Structure 1
Amino acid sequence: MQTSPPRTALERFQPWRRVFEVGFWIGVSLINAIGNSITTLMDVRRAGLPFASWEPAVWEFSSHALILALMPAVIIFTRRLPLHLDTWRRFLPWYALASVVWSLLHVLGMIGLRKLAYIAMGQSYGFDGWWVFLYEYLKDVRGFIGMVVVIHSYRLLLRRMQGEASLLDAPDEGSAPVESVERPERFLVRKLGREFLVAANDIEWIQASGNYTNLHVRERDYPLRSTIADIETRLDPKRFARVHRSYIVNLDQLAMIEPLDSGDARLHLKDGSTLPCSRRYRTALRERVGAGLRETLVAPAA
């Protein structure tokens, strides 16, 4: 009887991951908004400025409400353009432009919220000309950089906990290669300071995830920094097949192909998992599995 491997700390964390991530940003925003409101009110009182007690709270909470509203866009942006040692020079101009756009949306949005709040209090809110955007940008760019650093650091921590795969290094010039670099038989996985090898033939399927592909091996996913198109060219075509724009499957793991009314298909694997198969790849997959296996792999149409 095959037993499942013990759950890792990361796997135990996964059901709570979304709650933690959302709660983290909400918590940070609330703490900053409350803390800044109190300190701003103290500064106003100390300077004897003619502002009501509720005004600093409106200023701070409107700002942090917009930060929270824009956070999903920052997360998506950093996922599409991840910063690594080999990409930061190419992506840095885009991050600079993104900081300007983010600041502009932040300022316009919080001014709108403040105007609504002041109207509700029977007053009017104005800002001191367009130079305020430059003033706010000098503050916003630091906040934007801080968010990017936190997001990338968090993702790096998750990858280290999960185990990050990489291709084996090419041998030094003049040395005999242990195996083909263009078509590797093994992948190196680094996990929490330890290294181990994963055989290419043990990979059950591969899923695209932004600039990464996740190698699924025995109920574990190991991210590899590679596009799915590139990794497809490196795998044995007799064993692996592209079945979707986001999936590659190990043909030895196929148990059944279930046709769908849409023309697509659902792949059932030997471990009980299912993967999508788009109509673009369905015919080629049936041809790949061979005439001898077709009867057992293809489910009869309903």
Structure 2
Amino acid sequence: MSLTHFQRYQTWYAAFFLSSYIFINNTINASSNIMEAQRDGELPFMIWEPFVWEYSSAIGTLLLFPALVWLLQAQPLNWQKITRSLFIYFIASVIFSLLHVGIMVAIRKIIYNVQGMQYDFGLVWFELLYEYRKDLWGFLFLIVVIKTYQYVVSQLTGQATPITHAEDAPQDLNFDRLLVKKLGKEFIICTDQIDWLESSGNYVNLHIGTRIYPLRATMTHLISRLEPQGFCRIHRSHAIRLDAIESITPLSSGDSEIKLITGKVLNLSRRYKEQFKGQINSSAVWV
């Protein structure tokens, strides 16, 4: 698997590996419950019940995982205000546990009702405290997993940062160079090497040939800074360097296809067509 392929689909790979780990771990837990009960004598439950208990917990964790990723982005740990950060994460862990318990209990009740049985959660306050102990550990474990994964990916793929013309230059100035950090090395890329831009959450992926470098920015803010360098937005999620265009093909839908010199084909949305034509005309050299 090439690094470029991984960069393009890293969210799906992360989801697959996390799901696989959680379900394998919970399958082992369920089978351990059955084996321990058999070793002690007669089973006090139906053989499918431990799997319902464990898988309902796994589903709850996976459903809440995106919220945990969002929390780390919206409220990163601030060591200068560590008391405030710890308080926020403590409240988040309590909410995480309550939602996790609510999801898994709801799933269990539905399955038990389908089987014509009644699911008893137990003494509420005691069970919530019991579950919070486990959920707090799971909450912290997932944070470590997310931060470790992000660090490893950033080291493998590199990350770009705009280079301003002076140390004290404000961050909204136009720029024509990027500093890329990758595997402990730093090197400079000129913006005229970028073929196209791709919005990806809080980042914009810079496509340079077969390489991809993430830059922490929004597409709207970044394209406003790169327009003087000959870039144009063509879609809600895409922008291109005009000099990288090979051909433009109109479509019956009113959109167009733009083929880049690299062979990449991107969609020109009707919403951005007039703006695109304006920039093409203003940058054209008539002879």
Q: Aligning the two structures, in what range does the TM-score lie when normalised by the shorter sequence? A: 0.7 to 0.9
In structure 2, the partner of 1:67 is 61
TM score, norm. by length of structure 2? 0.76
The residue correspondences of 1:1-302 to structure 2 (distance < 5 A) are 10-11=3-4, 13=6, 18=12, 21-35=15-29, 38=32, 42=36, 51-52=44-45, 54=47, 56-68=50-62, 70=63, 73-74=66-67, 77=70, 81=74, 83=76, 99-116=93-110, 118=112, 123-131=117-125, 132-168=127-163, 171-172=166-167, 182-237=173-228, 239-290=230-281
* Distance in 2, Cα, partners of 1:253 & 1:31: 48
8 Å Cα contact 1:170/1:181 also seen in 2 = no
Aligned residues between the structures = 280
Deviation at 1:263, TM superposition (A): 2.5
Deviation at 1:192, TM superposition (A): 0.7
8 Å Cα contact 2:209/2:262 also seen in 1 = no
Identity of aligned residues (%): 34
Q: Give the match's secondary structure for 1:114.
A: helix
Deviation at 1:217, TM superposition (A): 0.8
* Closer/same/farther in 2, CA of residues 79 and 217 from structure 1, 3 Å limit: farther
* Distance in 1, Cα, partners of 2:221 & 2:87: 26
TM score, norm. by length of structure 1? 0.73
Q: Give the match's secondary structure for 1:241.
A: strand
In structure 2, the partner of 1:5 is none
Q: Give the match's secondary structure for 1:290.
A: helix
Q: Give the match's secondary structure for 2:228.
A: coil
* Closer/same/farther in 2, CA of residues 146 and 125 from structure 1, 3 Å limit: same
Which amino acid letter does the alignment assign opposite residue 161 of structure 1? Answer: L
Deviation at 1:81, TM superposition (A): 4.2
* Backbone CA RMSD of aligned residues: 4.1
- Structure 2 spans left out of the alignment, 5+ residues: none
* Closer/same/farther in 2, CA of residues 9 and 129 from structure 1, 3 Å limit: same
* Closer/same/farther in 2, CA of residues 82 and 234 from structure 1, 3 Å limit: farther
Q: Give the match's secondary structure for 2:175.
A: coil
* Closer/same/farther in 2, CA of residues 170 and 40 from structure 1, 3 Å limit: farther
CA deviation vs aligned residue, 1:162-188 (integer Å, no higher than 9, x gap): 111112266456xxx8xx982222101
- Structure 1 spans left out of the alignment, 5+ residues: 1-7, 296-302
8 Å Cα contact 1:267/1:275 also seen in 2 = yes
* Distance in 2, Cα, partners of 1:243 & 1:294: 21
Deviation at 1:71, TM superposition (A): 5.5
8 Å Cα contact 2:34/2:43 also seen in 1 = no
Deviation at 1:243, TM superposition (A): 1.6
* Closer/same/farther in 2, CA of residues 16 and 219 from structure 1, 3 Å limit: closer
8 Å Cα contact 1:185/1:200 also seen in 2 = yes
